Amino acid sequence: MSELIVIGYDNQATATQAYDKVLELNKNFVVTLSGLAVVTVDADGKSHVDTPRKIVGVSAASGALWGMLIGLLFCSSRAAPQS
């Protein structure tokens, strides 16, 4: 089951500490992440999104692999000529 968890902090230092802790928990297999992002708003009001490339890359590769396998199973059964 997938869950979306959003946590807000008043300052960026606390958010960065929480971000680092979640990455450590993921590395130690305490939690399993399919995505993680830190959204900050600068003085001009512009939003900036930071994501760890390793987590996003692994999720994308996993999705591509499963999509390919399922596609091959269903497409190969339809592509076979019938006599």
Write the pLDDT tens digit of every residue in 33-70.
Answer: 877 888 888 889 888 888 776 655 555 666 676 677 77
**H helix or E strand, kind and range, residue 8:** none
What gap in Å lies between CA 63 and CA 42, rounded to an integer? Answer: 33
Domain ranges across the chain: 12-79
Q: Collapsing DSSP states into helix, strand and coil, what is residue 12?
A: helix
Tokens at 45, concatenated: 């009001």
pLDDT of residue 81: 57
pTM of the predicted model as reported, rounded to 2 decimal places: 0.55
Residues 6+ apart with CB under 8 A from 56: 35
- DSSP category for residue 38: E
- DSSP category for residue 20: H
